[in-house]
Amino acid sequence: IVETPGIEEWNKRTYINQLIKSAAKVDDDTKEKIVKKIIKNIKKQNAGSVKNELRQSSRIYQEAEMYDEAISKIKKAKSLTKNKNEIKRLENQQADCLAKAGEYDDAVKVYKKLLQDDSMKWEDRLNYQNKIAKTYNDAHRSDEAKDTAEDIVKTCKEFLREHEYGGRAMNARFALAEAYKNSGDKESARETLEKIQKKYKHTSYAKQAEKKLKDM
């Protein structure tokens, strides 16, 4: 199906994902053969665009949990672009692969490099900090994960000082409560959620806060 001419790109992507998931359940040799066949098809389709071939191939390798191959493609793709946003996207993907491969220090190093951009949106900063915390947790480095949670508390507070209302502010409040909990300050986490309950009675926010309080 994947190699059928004329098949819509969305359907092809769906079939490829299903094929990769199936490949992940078999032995490594069989998985490698399946992935190589998909990569060969991608190269054929993108004969005139090395960049597209590298981007698509890196995603396939990443989804197939073949992280060394994915990182190799990502590095080649980075060397072919000067677009800053594209480089950031590729570096984020590279860090994700490093973390999954157990290269925790290298992953954190890349995430921290991405955090050096002072102009990034609050959501992006929070995303990278959460990824760092998860990487430390996966590495069983609880002290560093706790320190990162404290950094997230600061990030949320800084955002809320300038954005008190709206959906983004509510996301920040829930992220703040979660960060308090992960830093070991459950009392502040509970207080944050209780304030949401009190201030936004009879709303979905209050119900969400109530559920989180029960789960603590």
Q: What's the average model confidence in pLDDT over 41-64?
A: 87
- Give the CA distances from residue 37 to residues 3, 88, 159, in Å, rounded to whole numbers and listed in that order: 10, 29, 47
Q: Are 85 and 181 in a shared domain? A: no
CATH no. for residue 194?
1.25.40
Q: Closest Cα to residue 150, out of 186, 182, 174?
A: 182
Do the Cβ atoms of 213 and 178 come closer than 8 Å?
A: no
Q: In this structure, are 85 and 163 located in the same domain? A: no
Q: Are residue 18 and residue 101 in the same domain, yes or no?
A: yes
Residue with tokens 């078999």: 26
Q: Show which of 76, 110, 144 is a domain's final residue.
A: 110
Last residue in a domain, options 75, 110, 145 = 110
Q: For the segment 55-113, what is each residue's pLDDT rounded down to a tens digit?
A: 989 998 998 899 999 999 999 999 999 999 999 999 999 999 999 999 999 999 999 99
Total tally of structural domains belonging to the chain: 2
pLDDT at 152 over 90: yes
Tokens of 75: 């590095």
Rounded to 5°, the CA angle 31-111-134 comes to 70
**pLDDT score at 121:** 92
Range of the domain at 41: 1-110
* pLDDT tens, residue by residue, 131-149: 999 999 999 999 999 999 9
Do residue 45 and residue 94 come from a single domain?
A: yes
Are 8 and 82 found together in one domain? yes
Same domain assignment for residues 123 and 138: yes
Residue 6 confidence (pLDDT): 45
pTM of the complete model? 0.86
Would you state the pLDDT for residue 44? 83
Radius of gyration of the chain (CA): 21
Instruction: Confirm if 39 and 64 have CB atoms less than 8 A apart.
Output: no
Measured in residues, the chain has a length of: 216
- Segment 118-128, tens digit of pLDDT: 899 999 999 99
Minimum mean pLDDT among 8-17, 101-110, 187-196: which range?
8-17
**pLDDT the model gives residue 40:** 86
Q: Is the pLDDT of residue 9 over 70?
A: no
What gap in Å lies between CA 187 and CA 177, rounded to an integer? 10
Residue in the block written with tokens 């990182």:
71
Residues 8 and 103 in one domain: yes
Question: What does the alpha-carbon distance between residue 8 and residue 76 come to, in Å, rounded to a whole number?
Answer: 28
